[in-house]
Amino acid sequence: MSNILLVDDDRELTSLLQELLEMEGFTVVVAHDGEQALSLLDDSIDLLLLDVMMPKKNGIETLKQLRLHYQTPVMMLTARGSELDRVLGLELGADDYLPKPFNDRELIARIKAILRRTTARELPLQKVSENHILQVDALTLFPGLQEARFEGDVLDLTGAEFTLLCLLAQHAGQVVSRDLLSQQVLGKRPLPFDRAIDMHVSNLRRKLPARKDGLPWFKTLRNRGYLMVSTR
């Protein structure tokens, strides 16, 4: 059973969402502003549903502060058409976003997709074999541990960023479509002008150290997708 922290100042909406999520088997903790959310957040929380527009501390400021201490998956709930909030949230480490008003089934599907990516973190170390390790240049990926290392140093990646990096590394030298990446990483087909995958790739480019072989990590192929550059 997963624990969800639902953060929204709309009390009627939070009541309805809490009932929906509990019917799906989740344990739900509710906060109505960013300050309250940060006070309730601990390692027992598996996912945050975080509204952007809130009193005291908005969703963007809350996300910025929580990322200083936690890598807990975050789905932003944004006003439809508020592209700036969505882009900024992704840049700050949100895993996904969902514009309001949204379909209940889509919300549940997105939540389950994010949680599936994080269950691998619970695997004991002894169950991770050599077959689960990916290597590109000095970058080593441990999917069973949800951990990425560069020359032995652990990289600070969100769950979505790590999953995206693994998919591209598994297909190094091959083009992977944005549609496939979105389905595998975010559990959804990308809508027109959906920039979630693009922002996650941008974050990876910023976070990954320069390669020892001098090559770029990724290439963008217009209207096709992304390619992780294979080693020489």
Report the CATH number that the domain containing residue 105 is assigned in CATH: 3.40.50.2300
Kindly state whether residues 114 and 130 are assigned to the same domain: no
Res 129: pLDDT:
42
Q: Which of 101, 120, 139 is the last residue of a domain?
A: 120
Contact between residue 49 and residue 75 where contact means Cβ atoms under 8 Å apart: yes
Instruction: Write out the residue range of the structural domain in which residue 155 sits.
Output: 123-228
Kindly state whether residues 193 and 174 are assigned to the same domain: yes
Phi, psi of 24, rounded to the nearest 5 degrees: -85, 0
CA neighbours closer than 13 Å in the CB half-sphere of residue 131 = 1
> pLDDT tens digit string along 101-121?
888 998 998 898 888 776 544
Neighbour tally for 143: CB within 10 Å = 20
Res 178: pLDDT:
87
Contact between residue 115 and residue 46 where contact means Cβ atoms under 8 Å apart: yes
> pLDDT tens digit string along 46-77?
999 999 888 888 999 999 999 888 888 999 98
pTM of the model as a whole: 0.65
Which own/partner contact pairs does 38-41 have at CB distance under 8 Å and 24+ positions apart? 38/62, 38/65, 38/66, 40/5, 41/5, 41/66, 41/70, 41/72
Q: Cα–Cα distance between 154 and 137 in angstroms, integer? A: 15
Domain count, the chain: 2
Neighbour tally for 98: CB within 10 Å = 19
Q: Which of 89, 120, 151 is the last residue of a domain?
A: 120
Q: Which of 120, 136, 153 is the last residue of a domain?
A: 120
CATH of the domain at 177: 1.10.10.10
96: left (phi over 0), alpha (psi -120 to 50) or beta: beta
Neighbour tally for 191: CB within 10 Å = 9
Contact between residue 55 and residue 9 where contact means Cβ atoms under 8 Å apart: yes
Low-confidence ranges of the chain (pLDDT < 50): 120-130
Kindly state whether residues 149 and 224 are assigned to the same domain: yes
Res 130: pLDDT:
44
How does strand 225-228 pair with strand 218-221? antiparallel
Kindly state whether residues 134 and 116 are assigned to the same domain: no
Nearest to 157 by CA among 142, 171, 147, 167: 147
Kindly state whether residues 18 and 35 are assigned to the same domain: yes
